[in-house]
A and B are shown apart, each in its own frame.
Chain A
């Protein structure tokens, strides 16, 4: 039997989600025995023209060249999986979509005319069809191994979109929103990280993006009750996945209302 082929592509990102593979240790070597890794530039194999069964895409679309490149990746891949907040939701760099990124270019670079970048940073799914999305900033090795295993057995991966509170309660953490009056994003955030922040006694900052059916405006009102300003509440929804629709809606609701 021929081994399934895999590619890992990078767009605008910090490389952290590729580490879900590179940090897998011996599991990475096992994986390389189960699948044929055609393209994974950071790990070494380079063949971005190869046709593959599974393409993992890290990073958001933020330049004219990336808009074209993602179409080519799609046309050469049977099953396309976005990995992480950048590819799935535009990433932290999607904060530019809210504010003036042309002005930013001029402020960061002495010669902005040398820089070719779009005014927006957008998720892969706004450009091509995506078969499965992994949320998280960063994703974990566990998430990526689960997807590969499911696909190797011909099973459709399951999307877990419950709120972080489910995971947090199961972990037995003390609720930081209730007990410490911290502006915890857990109620509207997708589980998957292991409820790390509440475990460390701090408020979740929503690095796994919105859970299913989140009520951001209601949670934001609660934050106002804790003493946050409207601008601070808006900022809670505008960090890692600001471009995701439910968070964008909540942000707009609180933005510009003064404190």
Chain B
């Protein structure tokens, strides 16, 4: 196309993201002068209607924030509430929560890798069209996604808004027979999960390095899911209870999602941030695969996010097999709780990144105050920063359509869950004459 100095891009409805949003961007002399990721997902006010509800209703309520990652909401909530009641659910509950979370990582990541992200890199508008040419790859992804759903279903009856989690543990322990059947299926999926990692690593991903701070939970000896300190790649490490001293949400006029900054600056949460910070916590088998595909960590290329998701799925499958092979039935699948007034916070690793909750409860166990900071609002400022950097680095020679696709694929690297953050992206690029 002809040389142009200034351009304005509008994407009024971004596809393949969870929720509704739009993008508008103005380029002036090849520089991005303005970029706004506009989220217009209608607010649903969860934090307010939690007030006045019993603590025991919270896992069922917060699940409804997101159909794709309900387990994450349930996990952050139960940990925060148990910290108030000083409950000690014990090793069985702890292990089963980890297995359950593995299920959600697998389900959410495989949905994103195959149905939402991969079409960007293979030149298709959507996965249904992509499946005509890449039938076995898409079928493999959907089969793995299904394994994730199977794990959630075993612990919670269904994969969307599962009903098995309660404050203190689980309503019911799965039977030995159900676990044995599931382990058999999960084991059979291991080879497919490894193939999926190699497939994502072979995709024609753009080369685009940039500086950013990664933030993730870090645990003393495992790849963190439910526990750990909040650790940043710049060296800061804090307890989840100190979150509000470092992470501040602010409200921008064009979005119903709040923008969160860490010590005043944008930062990254999610699979690539977790791999960057915690790759040394992965078992040897997974680290060997990472080395074999040539992924150097920490990575500064956000397009490696799709590989990071596939790697985490491989890990989650190995971890779920490890936990469930050692399964024993438990007559008391939940701790007995002593209800008391207080305040407590917890963070866990949702598929999309750090998910922080804080609750205030009265002496009767009724919620008086709630605050929830989802991963997508934390990534929003980073997405805008990334768009600016990537478009300026790679955008110069691109047509408007290519620029639009590049912008959308940048956004999709973050797997933004707009339903969580408050759903469709509409990209608007404005090129102005200088």
A interface list, Cβ under 8 A from B: 10-20, 22-23, 25-26, 28-29, 32, 37, 41-46, 48, 62-63, 65-66, 91-93, 95-96, 99, 101, 104-105, 107-111, 114-115, 117, 121, 137-138, 140, 193-194, 196-197, 199-202, 205, 207, 232, 235, 239-240
Contact = CB atoms under 8 A, between A and B. Distances in A.
6 contacts: A13-B419, A26-B139, A42-B116, A45-B125, A63-B42, A205-B60
Contacts of B171: 197, 200-202
B16 A42 contact: yes
A232 B145 CA distance: 38
B115 A43 contact: yes
Contact of B42 (A29, A114, A117, A240): A117
B49 A99 contact: yes
B31 interface: no
Given A14-B419, A23-B145, A45 B161 contact: no
A171 to B, nearest CB: 12
A43 B45 contact: no
Given A10-B423, A25-B142, A66-B42, A41 B15 contact: yes
B219 interface: no
Question: Main SS of the interface on chain B?
Answer: loop
B139 A232 contact: no
Contacts, number: 189
A43 B164 contact: no
A200 to B, nearest CB: 4
Given A15-B19, A29-B131, A197-B171, 6 more contacts: A29-B142, A44-B116, A92-B49, A99-B48, A202-B166, A207-B60
Given A15-B419, A41-B15, A105-B45, A92 B20 contact: no
A11 to B, nearest CB: 8
Contact of A96 (B40, B45, B145, B166): B45
Contacts of B42: 11-12, 62-63, 66, 117
Interface string B138-182: 110011011001000000011111011010000110000000000
A138 B158 contact: yes
Given A42-B16, A93-B45, A196-B158, A25 B145 contact: yes
Given A29-B128, A196-B157, A16 B45 contact: no
A44 B126 contact: yes
Given A196-B157, A199-B157, A44 B172 contact: no
B253 interface: yes
Contacts of A14: 64-67, 70, 419
A172 B178 CA distance: 18
Nearest to B65: A14
Q: Nearest 3 pairs between A and B by C-beta? A: A16-B67, A44-B126, A196-B157
A138 B67 contact: yes
A12 B18 CA distance: 12
B39 to A, nearest CB: 11
B64 A44 contact: no
B164 A29 contact: no
Contacts of A115: 43, 256
B170 to A, nearest CB: 8
Q: Which of A95, A101, A199 has the most CB of B within 10 A?
A: A95
A14 B40 CA distance: 14
Interface string B81-104: 000000000000000000000000
B309 to A, nearest CB: 16
Contacts of B47: 107-108
B296 interface: no
B64 A43 contact: no
B17 interface: yes
B216 to A, nearest CB: 24
Question: Main SS of the interface on chain A?
Answer: loop
Contacts of A232: 54
Interface string B237-265: 00000000000001111111010000000
A25 B141 CA distance: 9
A63 B107 CA distance: 31
B37 interface: no
A200 B172 contact: yes
Contacts of A205: 57, 60
Contact of A22 (B15, B45, B111, B119): B111
Contacts of B40: 65
Contacts of B70: 14, 16
B317 interface: no
Nearest to A113: B253
Contacts of A114: 251-256
B124 to A, nearest CB: 8
Contact of A45 (B41, B57, B128): B128
B127 interface: yes
B253 A96 contact: no
A63 B44 CA distance: 11
Contact of A240 (B54, B64, B65): B64
B57 A235 contact: yes
Given A16-B70, A200-B163, A92 B64 contact: yes
B136 to A, nearest CB: 12
Nearest to A103: B48
Contacts of A201: 171-172
Nearest to B417: A15
Nearest to B143: A25
Contacts of B252: 114
Contacts of B138: 29
B190 to A, nearest CB: 19
Contacts of A239: 57, 60-61
Contacts of B414: none
B16 A18 contact: no
A46 B13 CA distance: 8
Contact of A44 (B44, B52, B127, B158): B127
